[in-house]
């Protein structure tokens, strides 16, 4: 799978860990930054991820920050991007199964590293259920 990833300084360490994990699983990952723990404004790194997902250059996007809230908001400003802020495996499952989320936001200051990796794995493995959920997705995509 082709996955775009980006973060601000607060999520840098988790981004590096997740990127290495994804590459070890054979995924193609493009890192849009940031590239250190030096203070950085998240929109500069989240917007390129969202644009890449919006343009279908990448199948999925992962964005990170301290809480993940701002990053999800920034990504969701792009038509066709459905970014879900997930804090456990259940929210990751539901974001894919019911909302066909094509972007994932994680708050690096909110959850332990091991849980972040489990969330990523569950989110990538969960298919969209379709059916009754498809109408909602079409409505979201046309906002």
**71 has catalytic annotation:** yes
Choice among 98, 114, 129, 133 that is catalytic:
98
CA 114/CA 93 separation, integer angstroms: 17
Other Cβ atoms within 10 Å of 27 Cβ, number: 15
Choice among 71, 113, 129, 133 that is catalytic:
71
CA distances from 39 to 32, 65, 92, 107 (A): 16, 11, 28, 16
Grouping H, G, I as helix, E, B as strand and the rest as coil, residue 49 is helix
Which tokens go with 86? 């997930």
**98 has catalytic annotation:** yes
Cis peptide before 34 (omega within 30 of 0): yes
What residues are labeled active site?
71, 98
């Amino acid at each position: 799978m082709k996955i775009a990833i980006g973060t601000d300084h607060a999520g840098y360490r988790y981004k590096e860990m997740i990127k290495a994990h994804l590459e070890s699983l054979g995924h193609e990952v493009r890192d849009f930054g940031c590239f250190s723990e030096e203070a950085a404004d998240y929109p500069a790194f989240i917007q390129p991820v969202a644009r890449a997902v919006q343009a279908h250059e990448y199948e999925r996007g992962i964005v990170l920050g301290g809480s993940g809230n701002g990053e999800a908001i920034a990504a969701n400003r792009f038509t066709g991007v459905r970014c879900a802020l997930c804090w456990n495996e259940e929210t990751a499952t539901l974001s894919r199964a019911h909302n066909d989320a094509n972007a994932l936001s994680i708050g690096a200051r909110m959850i332990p590293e091991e849980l972040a990796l489990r969330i990523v794995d569950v989110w990538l493995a969960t298919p969209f259920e379709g059916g009754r959920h498809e109408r909602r997705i079409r409505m979201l995509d046309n906002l």
